Amino acid sequence: MSVLVDKNTRLIVQGITGTEGLFHTQQMLAYGTNIVAGVTPGKGGEWVEGKVPVFDSVKKAAETTEANASIIFVPARFAPDAMFEAADAGIPLIICITEGVAVQDMMRVRNYLDQKGVRLIGPNCPGLLTPGEAKVGIIPGDIAIPGNVGVVSRSGTLTYEVLYAMKNIGLGASTCVGIGGDPVNGTNFIDCLEMFNDDPKTEKVVLIGEIGGNDEEKAAEYIANKMTKPVVSFIAGQSAPPGKRMGHAGAIIEGGAGTAEDKINALKSAGVRVARHPEEIAELLK
Catalytic positions: 248
Mean pLDDT throughout 263-281? 95
Q: Which of 74-88, 99-113, 151-165, 252-266 has the lowest mean pLDDT?
A: 252-266
Which fold, 139-285?
Rossmann fold (3.40.50)
Q: Do the domains 11-121 and 139-285 sit in the same CATH topology, yes or no?
A: yes
Select the more confidently predicted residue: 241 or 154.
154
Residue 251 confidence (pLDDT): 52
Share of the chain above pLDDT 70, in %: 93
Residue 258 confidence (pLDDT): 79
Checking if the pLDDT of 267 tops 90, the result is yes
Element (H, E) at 282: helix 280-285
Checking if the pLDDT of 273 tops 60, the result is yes
Mean pLDDT throughout 181-210? 96
Mean pLDDT throughout 171-181? 96
Looking at the whole model, is its pTM more than 0.85?
Answer: yes
Q: Where are the domains of the chain?
A: 11-121, 139-285
CB 92 within 8 Å of CB 35: no
Kindly indicate whether the domain formed by 11-121 is annotated with CATH number 3.40.50.720.
Answer: yes
Return the DSSP state at 254: B
Q: How far apart are CA 267 and CA 216, in angstroms?
A: 8
Using pLDDT thresholds of 50, 70 and 90, give the confidence band for residue 256. Answer: low
Return the DSSP state at 4: S
CA dihedral 186, 23, 15, 154 (to 10 degrees): 10
